[in-house]
Chain A
Amino acid sequence: MSPLNRFLHRPETLAGAIILGVLFAMALFASLLFPGDPQAIAGPALLPPFHDWSLPLGTDRLGRDVLAELFHGARTSLAVGLAAAAAALLIGAVVGTLAGFAGGVVDEVLMRITDAFQTVPSFLLALAFVSVVGPSLGVVVAAIALGAWTGPARVARAEVLSIRERDYVAGARVIGMHPLEIAFREVLPNALPPVLALSSVIVAAAILTEAALSFLGLGDPNRVTWGGMIAEGRTVLRTAPFLSIVPGIALVLTVLGVYLAGEGVVETAAVRRSLS
């Protein structure tokens, strides 16, 4: 069985892949299907869903098209989630590799810093960071990454500690390779699999954190976000609950999809490694 077949064989992984596929399609085609500003007024306010087929999911308090907002929100969620997770994995892998490979004082200092970041709840950290620096997409990404890199750093360090004792690392030293090249070209790539296995959880958490920040009004104000939509809908929760429920469902499905597909990838990779 090919890796792709094996990957799609499990129903839960297939479900995750489908959810993610739909999500990516939404993000990709958002400005094609809904050109123009999704925050512009498109019709009467508080139109309920399934009443007017030009506005299938109705409108919000200001008369904005909910479906258009949902599509554009998918874009923000995915972009922020993936960028923040990538940044967290990169920082974590680099810090963990340096600490594990250098050992001694460098290790000590880097791991104290990691401890410090880990003791502060990551959401508070993100909250404080965005409050101080100001909300924009880049800042939100940085804020989320700031709270998420410690896990990858610890995993990378543990892996590097075992790899650095191998003969091939000694061999690289014997041929005169620079320590940084040994750390990042010889050791880090071989330490990556367990670090990357964390990525589904980190992406899912990053998407949730982004939504929570937006919910609190700390998202990028120029972008539609699901968290922002939920917060908007909260003021009319009794009369128009769908305004919060629709983006809420989208959020839950997304996190579920990321997690299921991610686990599938990890397991496929594990099977392939054990087969080879």
Chain B
Amino acid sequence: MSLLSVSNLTKHYRRGGTTIAAVDGVSFTIEPGETLALAGPSGSGKSTIARLVLRLIEPDAGNIQFKGDDFLALNGAALRARRARLQMVFQDPLAAFNPRATVARVLDDPLRIHAIASRVERPARIAALLERVGLTADLAPRSIHEISGGQRQRVAIARAIATNPSLIVLDEAVSALDVSVRGQILELLLDLQARERIAYLFISHDLGVVRAIAHRVVLLDAGRIAESGDARAVIDVPQSAIGKALVAAAPTLNRTHLQDAS
């Protein structure tokens, strides 16, 4: 049984007089511990799929099964409890946190909400989380504003893994980072996956990054699936027009280097 199974997902937006299909009949599955990449040009519906899968917006049609349950049927407290298993990392780590928050508070919230640790245990848990993502515990009292972009994205990952999720959705999670920092964050993600069998829905417009981290890839074009399959097979020999265009445009698609790294 798949961890996540999305079928025929559809979302329309009305803009002006016309309706556009941001997501149009998209189906895919993710197995436990697997990385599925969603790639496609800007506006192809990647973020909309992420928000649908996370129940931040509701689809017009389609089904989402998560861990064997009808995820779209959950509501209220049951949905909030389920969210512990399904987490997200955003593209801009500065916008993803309350501007008044400290690192400690950002990590305290999920531990408190899902009753993972008591009040007295939480500082130690927060320190452990920080260390798991390659940061030091002395960062905890700092404001989110005071730390670097790379550190912030590590904190975002620490928050996402705080509740022991089975699946993390990463929407352009490394796109805003410097190349060197990007490599470190990708390594951290691979390391976490190897140790805890977390599955990723990895969204990116950059096929070089996708090829380095994903097992399978789904290429989107204007809300529809253009092509899908094994990440290396698809990226090395793209069949669709959009696949060829994305390969040609990928800034970091340096094959020899990536083959060495992965």
Query: Which residue of chain A lies nearest to B145 when distances are taken between CB atoms in the complex?
Result: A276
In angstroms, Cα B159 to Cα A191, docked, is 24
Interface residues on B, range: 20 to 34
Q: Within B76-134, which residues are at the interface with A (CB < 8 Å)?
A: 80-81, 83-84, 86-88, 90, 92, 95-100, 109-110, 113-114
User: Cβ of A174 < 8 Å from any Cβ of B?
Assistant: yes
In angstroms, Cα B88 to Cα A174, docked, is 7
User: Cβ of B73 < 8 Å from any Cβ of A?
Assistant: no
Residues of B near A167 (CB, < 8 A) are 90, 92, 95-96
Whether A177 pairs with B97 at a CB distance below 8 angstroms is: no
Residues of B near A173 (CB, < 8 A) are 56, 83
Query: Which residue of chain B lies nearest to A178 when distances are taken between CB atoms in the complex?
Result: B80
Whether A176 pairs with B96 at a CB distance below 8 angstroms is: no
Residues of A near B84 (CB, < 8 A) are 176
Whether A175 pairs with B159 at a CB distance below 8 angstroms is: yes
User: Cβ of B163 < 8 Å from any Cβ of A?
Assistant: yes
Query: Which residue of chain A lies nearest to B156 when distances are taken between CB atoms in the complex?
Result: A171
Per-residue contact bits, chain A 186-218, to B (CB 8 Å; 1 contact, 0 not): 100110000000000000000000000000000
Residues of A near B92 (CB, < 8 A) are 167
User: Cβ of A166 < 8 Å from any Cβ of B?
Assistant: yes
- Number of residues of chain A lying within 8 A (CB) of chain B: 15
Whether A175 pairs with B113 at a CB distance below 8 angstroms is: yes
The answer to whether residues A176 and B114 also contact, given A167-B90, A170-B56, A171-B88 and a CB cut-off of 8 A, is yes
Whether B97 pairs with A171 at a CB distance below 8 angstroms is: yes
Whether A186 pairs with B95 at a CB distance below 8 angstroms is: no
In angstroms, Cα B87 to Cα A81, docked, is 48
Query: Which residue of chain B lies nearest to A171 when distances are taken between CB atoms in the complex?
Result: B96
Per-residue contact bits, chain B 159-186, to A (CB 8 Å; 1 contact, 0 not): 1001100000000000000000000000
Whether A171 pairs with B100 at a CB distance below 8 angstroms is: no
Whether A174 pairs with B80 at a CB distance below 8 angstroms is: no
In angstroms, Cα B111 to Cα A254, docked, is 50
Query: Which residue of chain B lies nearest to A166 when distances are taken between CB atoms in the complex?
Result: B95
User: Cβ of A34 < 8 Å from any Cβ of B?
Assistant: no
User: Cβ of A29 < 8 Å from any Cβ of B?
Assistant: no
In angstroms, Cα B98 to Cα A190, docked, is 8
Partner of A174 from B56, B95, B100 at Cβ < 8 Å: B56
Residues of A near B86 (CB, < 8 A) are 174
In angstroms, Cα B98 to Cα A186, docked, is 7
With a 10 A CB-CB cut-off, give which of A170, A176, A178, A189 has the most chain B CB atoms: A176
Per-residue contact bits, chain B 52-91, to A (CB 8 Å; 1 contact, 0 not): 0010100000000000000000000000110110111010
Whether A175 pairs with B98 at a CB distance below 8 angstroms is: no
Partner of B83 from A166, A175, A186 at Cβ < 8 Å: A175
A-side interface residues toward B, CB under 8 Å?
A: 166-168, 170-178, 186, 189-190
9 closest A-B pairs by beta carbon, nearest first, are: A176-B80, A176-B83, A167-B95, A175-B110, A167-B96, A174-B88, A171-B96, A167-B90, A168-B98
B-side interface residues toward A, CB under 8 Å?
A: 51, 54, 56, 80-81, 83-84, 86-88, 90, 92, 95-100, 109-110, 113-114, 159, 162-163
